[in-house]
Amino acid sequence: MTSCRRTAALRLLTVSVLAALPVACGSRTPLNYVPFSDDGTDDDPDASRERDASLSDVNADRSLDGLAGLDARRDGSDVRDATDAFDSADSADRSDRADIADVPDLPPCFAESREGKGIPIDFYFVVDKSNSMGADAGMQSRWSAMTNALNTFVRSPMSAGLGAGVNFFPKSSTGNNTLCAVNDYRVPDVPIGLLPDVAPRIATARAAQRLGPGTPTTPALEASLSYAKAEKIGRATRDVAVVIVTDGQPSQCGSSNSVNATVAVARTYANGSPPVRTYVLGIGPSVADLNALALAGGTAPAHLIESGGESELVTAFNAIRDNSITCDYLIPMRPGERLDFNLVNIQIRVGVNGAIMPLGKVDNAAACGAAGGWYYDQPVPPGNPAPTKITLCPATCDPLVQTAGSHLDMLVGCKTTSQSP
Please indicate, yes or no, if residue 281 is contained in any of the structural domains: yes
Same domain, 59 and 129: no
Instruction: State the Cα–Cα distance between residues 390 and 209, nearest whole angstrom.
Output: 40
φ, ψ of residue 367 to 5 degrees: the values are: -90, -5
Please indicate, yes or no, if residue 418 is contained in any of the structural domains: no
Same domain, 179 and 287: yes
Please indicate, yes or no, if residue 417 is contained in any of the structural domains: no
Strand order in the sheet with 239-246: 190-194, 163-169, 121-128, 239-246, 278-283, 303-305
Q: Are 212 and 168 spatial neighbours (Cβ–Cβ below 8 Å)? A: no
| Host domain of residue 384 | 329-412
- Tell me, what amino acid is at 411? L
Same domain, 52 and 136: no
- 3-state DSSP call for residue 384? coil
Same domain, 341 and 387: yes
Q: How far is the CA of 383 from the CAs of 69, 331, 341, 377, 390, in angstroms? A: 64, 16, 11, 11, 15
Among residues 98, 133, 148, which one ends one of the domains? 98
39-96 pLDDT, tens digit per residue, is 444 444 444 334 444 334 434 443 334 444 444 444 444 445 545 444 444 444 444 4
Q: Are strands 278-283 and 303-305 parallel, antiparallel or unpaired?
A: parallel
φ, ψ of residue 178 to 5 degrees: the values are: -70, 130
Please indicate, yes or no, if residue 421 is contained in any of the structural domains: no
Among residues 273, 296, 324, which one ends one of the domains? 324
Same domain, 46 and 160: no
Same domain, 240 and 379: no
Could you tell me the CATH number of the domain that includes residue 186?
Answer: 3.40.50.410
pLDDT tens for each residue of the chain, 421 residues long:
444 444 444 343 343 433 343 333 333 322 222 232 334 444 444 443 344 443 344 344 433 344 444 444 444 444 455 454 444 444 444 444 454 444 445 456 788 888 877 888 899 999 999 999 999 877 889 999 999 999 999 999 999 999 999 999 999 887 678 899 999 999 999 999 999 999 999 999 999 999 998 889 999 999 999 999 999 988 877 899 999 999 877 877 755 556 888 999 999 999 888 889 999 999 987 777 888 999 999 888 889 887 767 889 999 999 888 877 778 888 888 888 888 999 999 999 998 899 999 999 999 888 988 899 999 988 887 777 888 889 899 889 888 877 878 888 889 989 999 987 6
Same domain, 68 and 156: no
Same domain, 392 and 266: no
Radius of gyration for the alpha carbons in the chain, expressed in angstroms and rounded: 37
If one counts the domains in the chain, the total is 3
Query: What is the 3-class SS of 271-316, one letter each residue?
Result: CCCCCCCEEEEEECCCCCCHHHHHHHCCCCCCEEECCCCHHHHHHH
